[in-house]
């Protein structure tokens, strides 16, 4: 009798077990495979390779904020500050409440020697509750470049 009851429970729960699905990675056409690879390359400081795969991601996902922000930093670390600035501005236009692109814009202005604009942009990032270390470091370097040592 208990054996019959056990078999009954197996058949009762078997359909539920069959409906379980194992998650599969997204297909390559979603762009996430390229994004993951770009992130790995960026972490390995292979910024040119990261740039290539971030651009591939953005072809399929043009409004991907993470990819745009990372593309900006890829340009930045290759000393292509003008392109970095454009990427950060595009990311900021997609979501003006995120502080990360604003910090990238500020550092790009700084690197392009637009110190007054960099200072304004660091102030804007501060209003968005960005990382205080990055803000204070950026403002400090900018004040030094502007020869305002009394403020630092």
pLDDT for 22: 45
Q: Where are the beta strands (DSSP E) in the chain?
A: none
Question: What is the reported pTM?
Answer: 0.77
CA distance 23 to 32: 15
Q: Is the confidence at residue 66, as pLDDT, over 80?
A: yes
**Mean of per-residue pLDDT scores for the chain:** 85
Ramachandran assignment for 71, one of left (phi > 0), alpha (psi -120 to 50 degrees), beta (any other): alpha
Rounded CA Rg of the chain: 24
Tens digit of each residue's pLDDT (9 = 90 or more) over 2-50? 555 454 455 555 555 555 444 454 565 666 888 999 999 999 999 999 9
* Res. 130 pLDDT band, cuts 50 70 90: confident
**What is the arithmetic mean of pLDDT over 69-95?**
97
Contacting residues for 87 by C-beta, under 8 A, at least 6 apart: 68, 69, 71, 72, 75, 104
pLDDT for 28: 58
């Amino acid at each position: 009798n208990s054996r019959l009851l056990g078999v009954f429970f197996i058949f009762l729960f078997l359909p539920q077990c069959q409906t379980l699905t194992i998650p599969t990675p997204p297909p390559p056409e979603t762009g996430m495979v390229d994004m993951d690879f770009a992130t790995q390359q960026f972490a390995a400081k292979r910024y040119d390779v990261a740039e290539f795969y971030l651009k591939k991601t953005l072809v399929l996902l043009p409004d991907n904020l993470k990819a745009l922000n990372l593309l900006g930093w890829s340009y930045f670390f290759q000393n292509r500050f003008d392109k970095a600035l454009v990427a950060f501005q595009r990311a900021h236009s997609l979501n003006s409440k995120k502080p990360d692109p604003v910090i990238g814009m500020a550092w790009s202005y700084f690197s392009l020697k637009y110190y007054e604009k960099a200072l304004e942009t660091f102030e804007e990032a501060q209003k968005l509750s960005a990382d205080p270390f990055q803000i204070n470091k950026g403002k400090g370097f900018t004040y030094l470049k502007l020869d305002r040592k009394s403020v630092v």
